[in-house]
Every structure is written in structure tokens, then in C-alpha cells.
Amino acid sequence: MQVHLYDSAEQVGQAAAILIAAQLIQKPAAVLGLATGSSPIPTYQELIRMHREGVLDFSSATTFNLDEYCKLPVEHPCSYHRFMREQLFDHVNLAPESTHVPNGNAEDLAAECSRYDRAISRAGGIDLQLLGIGRNGHIGFNEPSDQFVYGCHVVRLTKSTIEANRRFFDTEADVPREAISLGVGSIMNAKRVLLIATGDDKAEAVRKAIREDIDPATQASILRTHPNVVFLLDRAAAARL
């Protein structure tokens, strides 16, 4: 595990974008695993800037998102389909058919999870997986548990995750209670993992992930067993290390 510290969230975003750009330059047909939430927005803004300046070409790349809410229309302002279009897809030359987000409105959610895992496998696996980390140590929507779930699955969101995501919705009651998420095994199968964390509200989760025992109660702690993982942290997120 490599851990790098920066003075601001903007610097973390720039550093993450540089690593993603290096992956694309080295392998233009790279398969990228992408994350949502506020943490990766500076990264996506920097990738857009590099694309507009002619540095990055996304035309041969393929993307798979980590997760999506269940039973939320794709055009809802808080859906991850819409987030990705607004924050990245509409601003770079990714082919629409090469971008993938789980279908949280599928009639058979278990079948959708299996389909999504197979699609990643058919694409050759994820070359670089971008992650954030939840306040309770979740990665994707893999919530604290007594086990690590291997494949893509439906997750019942915890109270702390619902409260953390409340700011994006009109009321707490509007926050979906379930989501589709890549499993920990799917994340760990990525050839390289890049986790970004910013803000003091992530400091305790970062400490547990890096310093405490590997424990499914802090799902991000499993990343310590990955052969190629990088944590990019601002000073606030690293304050308890």
C-alpha cells in the first residue's frame, strides 16, 4: 500500500487524475472502474480539463461504475447514471456504449448483479479502480458487516450512509434504502486500486482502514491485501493516522 498526503482536496483530485491519465496513455483501451459522490468530482474536473487540452483520449476506453441506487429513475438528479453524465461522460469522448452503470431498476436485481459481473469479466477485468470511502469505512456500497461479499450484490444501506447521502436529496425519506454494488471481490480483482479521501469526516474511516485489523466491519481494510493500491489523502482525512 502506498499512502500520499496533500494539502487540499483539489490536489488530491489532480494527483488521482494524473494516475488515471497515465493508465489511459499507457493503455488507451483501459477498463476503468469509476466512483461517485463528492470526493471524485475534482478528479473528474481535472480529467475533463486534460481531455479538452488534447492530452487525454477516452475513445477506446471502457468504464464500469461501482454502484447505483435501487428504484431511483435514471434521470433523477441523484441517480449515479445522471451524476456520471453530468460530471464526466458528457464532457469527454467516451463512447456511450462503453460506459456501464448498474441498473437499479431492473425487474430481477439478482440477475442484474450477475449480468454486471459477467460484463466486467468479458471486458477483461478492471485495470484501475477508483474508490472513495464512506464515513463507516464502506467501499462501493459494501457496508460494515461480519463478512466480505465477493460479487456484485444488492445492499441494504445503513443509517450512517443514509444520513451521509441525505444532503443530496430533499428529505431523508427520499434517500433510497437499497443499492446495487460491486462486491469486495470484484473490487479486489482490479489490477490497480486508487482510493481518494478528503475531509475530516473521513479521518476515522481512513485510520481504521490503514491502521486497524482487516475486518469486514471496516470494508476498506481489505484493501491492505491488494498488491497494488494507492491512497491519496488530504491533511484532514489523514489527521488520525
Pick from 121, 126, 21, 114: nearest CA to 63 = 126
Active site residue ranges? 67, 136, 138, 143
Measured from the Cβ of residue 83, the count of other Cβ atoms closer than 10 Å reads 22
Q: For residue 49, give the H/E element and its range.
A: helix 41-52
Q: How far apart are CA 166 and CA 174, in angstroms?
A: 8
Residues 6 or more apart whose CB falls under 8 angstroms from that of 81 comprise: 68, 74, 75, 101
3-state SS assignment for residue 208: helix
